[in-house]
A and B are shown apart, each in its own frame.
Chain A
Amino acid sequence: MPGFSKKVSWILMLEIRSGKKVYDGREILNIPRLQLDKGIYWLQGINGSGKTTFLRMIAGLIPFSGDILFDGISLHQHPLPYRRQISLAEAEPLYPSFITGAEMIGFYQHIRKATAQQTGQLIHLFGMRPHLATPIGAYSSGMIKRLSLLLALLGDTPLILLDEPLATLDAEAAHRLPDLIREYHQDHGKSFIFSSHQSFAAGSLTVDKKLMAASQTIQMMA
């Protein structure tokens, strides 16, 4: 797919150093050290185990103590270059109801510097074209989910975080998503961390490693 310029080498990608998140004095996550190579990761864990918090920490959406580095770029010391490397599709995305899908995509396209060709292809893949001129307030939850996945894939970010990507998606889109992730990973060297309670369609996606959110921390599963 055009629009990608760099090939990513298979080395250490993400490093979390003393990452700690506390809400109202209660420790939600404490990750002394976690290193992830490039690849596809499936983040598992029960409800309330900190999966979403973990993904939002990596995406730089919430403050926390400690640091996260992507290819040696620190989130806290270099927030702008770091944010160029990562994008997130949230589990329950919310956008202003009065904005149309086309406007939202145009905004992301401008900031993420995505090519018109890539944008067009993603619009086609997610079946968004008939809904582009419609205000997001009139979208179904499945359509909003499609839009958020499209926005996360837009541009040239080497790491894409997907929080419950299958939730509210219809069968057709849910079936197509693993193929898309595999294509982005194999052909363009993109890495993914996704959380999901559901497993992807059997055999359609090879997960490199699994991460487990439990006991207020995130660990690599053997």
Chain B
Amino acid sequence: MSITRTVLLKSLVKTFYRQNAGLLAFFLFMLLGAVGRANEAGLLEYHYALIRGMLINPGFLILVLLLWFLYAMKCEQFISQTLRTRDYSFLYTLSFMKSGKVFRLLLLVEALIYLPVLWYVLVIAGVGIHLHQYAQVVVVLLFNLIVCLLSARWFLYLLHNPGTNRFAIRWKIPVLIRRKFYWTFFTRYLLNHRKVLLLVIKLYNCSILYLMVSRQLGEVYDLSMILLFYCFGMLGHGVIIHQFRDLEESRLSFYRGLPVSLAGRFIQYGCLYFILFIPEIITISRLTPAYLRPADALLFGFLGYGLLLLLNSLLFIKPFGKKQYLKIVVVIFFILFAGIVTGTMIWLTMLSFLFSVYLFFSRYYRYESV
């Protein structure tokens, strides 16, 4: 393997998977773990039905193409941001090489970071050919080929034009708000750097909640499975929260030295996670009382918000790496699972609130990132 290729793969591909391990684990679990178990049919039958649905229903196919496009945007965002950081500015030396060669290398990079989609596309193509849905297979293959080619071409353009940021969306927050409140640092970080991640998590959580709850019909009113998926989605926010704490320890460490009371600091986090939780609040409100009893709506609301606060407070115990944190999140998931089975979710909700407050107040000033 050439040294240029090795450097590119280490700088871009390896870093991409390291940074997005949480999000990819989330997807993997949804595709292979949770979905297979939730559905009474086996894993293979489930995916066969899913792919068949994509190929037969044009609306569903468009939705899937849209999701792939979002993932491609995330890849683009990652590469363009990485190229802008000082640590990777040496990559601009690639612009001195022949464009054709650099393009091929960048195409390889794009193919590798787009791999989670590509392998599923191959499965879809196989099923499509088996079902004689040739036109749809061509659409799927062409779409992804164009995405890869255009992305590689765009990366080449970025290398030849340092500092370009054509697709950046600037979010405007009123000046008075953004200057006064600590939580605005995090919301702006999300809107500037983690738009796709936020969109994916919210899309999953709200659609799961809406689709599953709205199917509750008449006498059959069992929220167990819905609660399980909802808890999974809420715990998926851990990916964002871990990144918040990274940001805080690396670039917002000055805040600890500022004269703000401990309660005031907790309120800032409370505001942040309330804002983050608004899509779920809207979804729950839309479902109540037609599909969701008011008492259950309150349970969903407090449980979700309590879990966000708990996930945040846990990160003040000590600096947890992503893997360690993921293990803790999995343990919480199993505790919640036990709570669903034993019907003790109300107690667990209260406990998560109390524990998050206790952890925060007892650990905040004792925490040290090194």
Specify whether A and B are partners: yes
- Residues of A at the B interface (CB closer than 8 Å) are 23, 59-63, 76, 79-81, 83-84, 86-88, 90, 93-99, 102-103, 106-112, 151
9 contacts between A and B (CB under 8 A): A61-B256, A63-B366, A80-B259, A80-B262, A84-B259, A88-B257, A95-B251, A95-B254, A106-B180
Decide if the interface of chain B is mainly helix, strand, loop or mixed.
helix
Contact A96 B260 (CB under 8 A): no
Q: Which 10 A-B pairs have the closest CB atoms?
A: A106-B179, A83-B259, A84-B259, A59-B257, A98-B192, A94-B251, A96-B251, A63-B366, A80-B261, A110-B180
Contact B261 A60 (CB under 8 A): no
Contact A99 B261 (CB under 8 A): no
Contact A63 B367 (CB under 8 A): yes
A83 proximity list for chain B (CB < 8 A): 257-260
Contact B251 A107 (CB under 8 A): no
In the complex, given contacts A63-B367, A99-B188, A112-B258, what are 15 additional A-B residue pairs having Cβ atoms less than 8 angstroms apart?
A61-B253, A61-B257, A63-B366, A76-B365, A80-B260, A83-B257, A87-B257, A93-B254, A94-B251, A95-B251, A95-B254, A96-B189, A98-B193, A106-B178, A109-B179
B350 proximity list for chain A (CB < 8 A): none
CB nearest to B247 among chain A residues = A96
Contact A107 B180 (CB under 8 A): yes
Q: Give min CB distance, A164 to chain B, whole Å.
A: 16
Contact B257 A60 (CB under 8 A): yes
Give Cα distance in the complex from A103 to B175, angstroms: 8
Give Cα distance in the complex from A95 to B247, angstroms: 9
Q: Assuming the A-B contacts A61-B253, A103-B179, are A98 and B259 also in contact, with contact meaning beta carbons closer than 8 angstroms in the complex?
A: no
- Residues of B at the A interface (CB closer than 8 Å) are 175, 178-180, 182, 185, 188-189, 192-193, 247, 250-254, 256-262, 365-368, 370
Contact B251 A60 (CB under 8 A): no
Give Cα distance in the complex from A206 to B11, angstroms: 50
Q: Give min CB distance, A138 to chain B, whole Å.
A: 9
Give Cα distance in the complex from A80 to B367, angstroms: 17
Give Cα distance in the complex from A76 to B260, angstroms: 14
CB nearest to B186 among chain A residues = A96
Q: Give min CB distance, B355 to chain A, whole Å.
A: 21
Q: Give min CB distance, A94 to chain B, whole Å.
A: 5
Contact B185 A96 (CB under 8 A): yes
Give Cα distance in the complex from A98 to B367, angstroms: 26
A76 proximity list for chain B (CB < 8 A): 365
Contact A111 B179 (CB under 8 A): no
Contact A79 B262 (CB under 8 A): yes
Give Cα distance in the complex from A76 to B180, angstroms: 26
Q: Give min CB distance, A123 to chain B, whole Å.
A: 14
Contact B179 A107 (CB under 8 A): yes
Contact of A111 (CB < 8 Å), options: B251, B258, B368: B258
Q: Give min CB distance, A101 to chain B, whole Å.
A: 12
Q: Assuming the A-B contacts A79-B262, A98-B192, are A60 and B370 also in contact, with contact meaning beta carbons closer than 8 angstroms in the complex?
A: no
Q: Assuming the A-B contacts A80-B261, A106-B179, A110-B179, are A98 and B256 also in contact, with contact meaning beta carbons closer than 8 angstroms in the complex?
A: no
CB nearest to B84 among chain A residues = A137
Contact of A62 (CB < 8 Å), options: B175, B182, B368: B368
Name the residue among A87, A97, A112 with the largest chain B CB count within 10 angstroms: A97
Give Cα distance in the complex from A93 to B192, angstroms: 21
Contact A111 B257 (CB under 8 A): no
CB nearest to B263 among chain A residues = A80
B370 proximity list for chain A (CB < 8 A): 23
Give Cα distance in the complex from A205 to B188, angstroms: 41
Give Cα distance in the complex from A88 to B188, angstroms: 25
Q: Give min CB distance, B244 to chain A, whole Å.
A: 11
Contact B254 A90 (CB under 8 A): yes
Give Cα distance in the complex from A108 to B260, angstroms: 11
CB nearest to B178 among chain A residues = A103
Contact A112 B259 (CB under 8 A): yes
A108 proximity list for chain B (CB < 8 A): 258
Name the residue among B178, B179, B192 with the largest chain A CB count within 10 angstroms: B179
A98 proximity list for chain B (CB < 8 A): 188-189, 192-193
Q: Assuming the A-B contacts A96-B247, A98-B192, A99-B185, are A63 and B179 also in contact, with contact meaning beta carbons closer than 8 angstroms in the complex?
A: no
Contact A111 B260 (CB under 8 A): yes
A93 proximity list for chain B (CB < 8 A): 254
Give Cα distance in the complex from A88 to B189, angstroms: 24
B247 proximity list for chain A (CB < 8 A): 96
A102 proximity list for chain B (CB < 8 A): 179
B259 proximity list for chain A (CB < 8 A): 80-81, 83-84, 111-112
Contact B180 A60 (CB under 8 A): no
Q: Give min CB distance, A193 to chain B, whole Å.
A: 14
B256 proximity list for chain A (CB < 8 A): 60-61
Give Cα distance in the complex from A106 to B178, angstroms: 9
CB nearest to A81 among chain B residues = B259
A88 proximity list for chain B (CB < 8 A): 254, 257
A59 proximity list for chain B (CB < 8 A): 257
B253 proximity list for chain A (CB < 8 A): 61, 94
